[in-house]
């Protein structure tokens, strides 16, 4: 009987130690933030009609900082997926992009973004007018409802941001976050047409024709 008791006690001791080991191992596991594993579909718009902000497909129209120090908790990491780079953000509450050379998108009709969301929810997007010597206008925004995964988002500049002057876009703001994870790629203005050059005199036309 004593031998049986000893065997039972040893069994329960071994089970208890095994459970404790598994609990300790579990407590030492660091859970990684969810992130995209594939790139979004590459855009196909004609490069001549695009003013790019961020994309491997197009040459950027200006150099932006993609995680400006605006007091946010958001952290940036650039990922390479399928040979394509994307901007990946964790602990997102809000985010600012900024350039010293504003983009003149006044002849454009749309704004495209590919946005990956770790979970479904809303995100506010603000293109912001301003720059050196100009009064900043950050009053126009559009809330987009995102599904989990990659979302192809197209804004109509005239209706989604009605009244905003697009001749000098120097910032973008993204808001309405609560610690989520997002990835952003292929941000560009679409429908671009080069402004027509006008001449005020026959002399200017003559000089142009003669290479002056």
Which tokens belong to 8? 């039972």
State the number of CA atoms in the 13 A half-sphere of 162 facing the CB.
1
Q: Mean pLDDT, to the nearest integer, of 62-81?
A: 97
Give the 3-state DSSP-derived string for the chain, with helices as H, strands as E and coil as C: CHHHHHHHHHHHHHHHHHHHHHHHHHHCCCCCCCCCCCCCCCCCCCHHHCEEEECCCCCECCCEECCCCCCCCCEEEEEEECCEEEEEEEEECCEEEEEEEEECCCCCCEEEEEEEECCCEEEEEEEEECCCCCCCECCCCEEEEECCEEEEEEEEHHHHCCCCCCCCEEEEEEECCCCEEEEEEEEEEECCCCCCCCCCCHHHHHHHHCCC
- For residue 67, pLDDT over 70 is answered with yes
What pLDDT sits at residue 28? Answer: 53
Q: For residue range 5-43, list pLDDT tens digits in order.
A: 454 345 445 434 444 454 355 445 456 789 999 999 999
- For residue 188, pLDDT over 70 is answered with yes
Residue that wins the pLDDT comparison between 82 and 212:
82
Share of the chain above pLDDT 90, in %: 74
Q: Mean pLDDT, to the nearest integer, of 79-101?
A: 97
Report the C-alpha gap between 186 and 76 in whole angstroms.
Answer: 16
Query: Which residue is associated with the tokens 């002056």?
Result: 212
CB atoms closer than 10 angstroms to residue 76: 15
What pLDDT sits at residue 91? Answer: 96
Q: For residue range 117-126, list pLDDT tens digits in order.
A: 999 999 999 9
Q: Mean pLDDT, to the nearest integer, of 78-91?
A: 97
What pLDDT sits at residue 200? Answer: 55
Q: Mean pLDDT, to the nearest integer, of 134-138?
A: 97
pTM: 0.79
**Band (207; pLDDT cuts 50, 70, 90):** low
- For residue 75, pLDDT over 60 is answered with yes
Average pLDDT, the chain: 86
- CB-based contacts of 6, cutoff 8 Å, min separation 6: none
């Amino acid at each position: 009987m004593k031998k049986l008791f000893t065997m039972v006690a040893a069994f329960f001791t071994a089970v208890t130690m095994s459970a404790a080991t598994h609990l300790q191992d579990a407590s030492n596991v660091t859970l990684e933030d969810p992130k995209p594993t594939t790139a979004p579909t590459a855009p196909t718009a004609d490069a001549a009609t695009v003013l790019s902000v961020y994309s491997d497909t197009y040459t950027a129209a200006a150099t932006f900082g993609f995680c400006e120090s605006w007091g946010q908790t958001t952290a940036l990491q650039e990922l390479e997926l399928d040979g394509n780079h994307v901007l990946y953000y964790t602990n997102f509450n809000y985010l600012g992009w900024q350039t010293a050379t504003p983009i003149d998108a006044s002849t454009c009709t749309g704004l495209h973004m590919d946005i990956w969301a770790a979970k479904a929810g809303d995100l506010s997007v603000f293109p912001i007018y301003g720059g050196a010597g100009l009064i900043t206008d950050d009053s126009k925004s559009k809330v987009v409802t995102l599904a989990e995964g990659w979302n192809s988002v197209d804004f109509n500049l005239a209706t989604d941001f009605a009244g905003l002057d697009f001749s000098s876009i120097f910032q973008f703001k993204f808001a309405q976050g609560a610690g989520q994870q997002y990835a952003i790629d292929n941000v560009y203005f679409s429908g671009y047409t080069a402004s027509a050059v006008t001449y005020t005199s026959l002399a200017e036309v003559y000089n142009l024709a003669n290479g002056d």
